[in-house]
Chains A and B, each alone.
Chain A
């Protein structure tokens, strides 16, 4: 391919006016190795295009739903059930504590009631003793 023709095609190529066939011509010229110096940059360009087209998808195609999704769902279940178990456990503990506290309050109330009863009765005794004292005093006064 003569240089003048290539130059013309390059101009067209930059304006995106080339056909696929013309682009193939350009590609052949620029990947051929014998490139005019002032068009060197196109050699890089077309060589890159050629290389880029060689890359392939090497993984095997699986038409089953992705495992990872299933897996993550499974793990979600596990995590959720652990969370539920844990919260039940904590809840139970909290509930027990509450029960214990209520029990303690009840016992406390009972004990304090009993103590109160004891103290009022003791007071009654004290009063009786006091009256006894005054009685004794007055008897002593009279006897003197």
Chain B
């Protein structure tokens, strides 16, 4: 597998890797580093990749594991996550949406979910993978995935309703 072939395989899902990394690591810079690192890892194991039927699922699993490791090492060294820069790339959307705040709030609500639910919401509701693929990626049983997803969706919805009734929006 040469470089251009590899890129052809990787390019369709590099954004998904990046978005999952950002969902977990929060900061854009870190997510970019993680994506870069992961693509490089994939490139190094390119001989193996040729045998995989579903490189994308494999890459997503790797991303998940990699981000978990990063988070663990971060907790160990007591560094706090930087939450400040999730808005920067959404400025152009300001104009698109009059209820920017409420939409942004969804981002914050997802951020406060447990890691596992975060990943599943990301994979299902944003990337629209089917359940079978998600089960493979997160290494969980279908029922467990459904339970986690349902819980995450309900939590977000309840929180949204709550803030709206308080008129915060």
Contact = CB atoms under 8 A, between A and B. Distances in A.
Interface of A: 13-17, 20, 23-24, 40-45, 47-49, 51-53, 55-57, 59, 61-63, 65-66
B82 interface: no
10 contacts: A15-B146, A16-B150, A44-B103, A45-B106, A48-B103, A49-B125, A59-B32, A61-B7, A61-B39, A65-B40
Contacts of B32: 57, 59
B3 interface: yes
A13 B106 CA distance: 17
Contacts of B103: 44, 47-48, 51
A20 B127 CA distance: 11
How large, as a class, is the contact surface on chain B?
35 or more
A44 B105 contact: yes
B140 interface: no
A6 to B, nearest CB: 15
B167 to A, nearest CB: 13
Interface of B: 3, 6-7, 10, 14-15, 17-19, 22, 32, 35-37, 39-40, 43, 89-90, 93, 97, 99, 102-107, 125-128, 130, 145-147, 149-150, 153-154, 156-157, 160-161, 164
Nearest to B151: A16
A41 B161 contact: yes
Determine the main DSSP class of B at the interface with A. Answer: helix
Determine the main DSSP class of A at the interface with B. Answer: helix
Contact of A55 (B15, B106, B164): B15
A70 to B, nearest CB: 13
B14 A61 contact: yes
A72 to B, nearest CB: 14
Nearest to B19: A55
A62 B35 CA distance: 11
A53 B127 contact: yes
A59 to B, nearest CB: 5
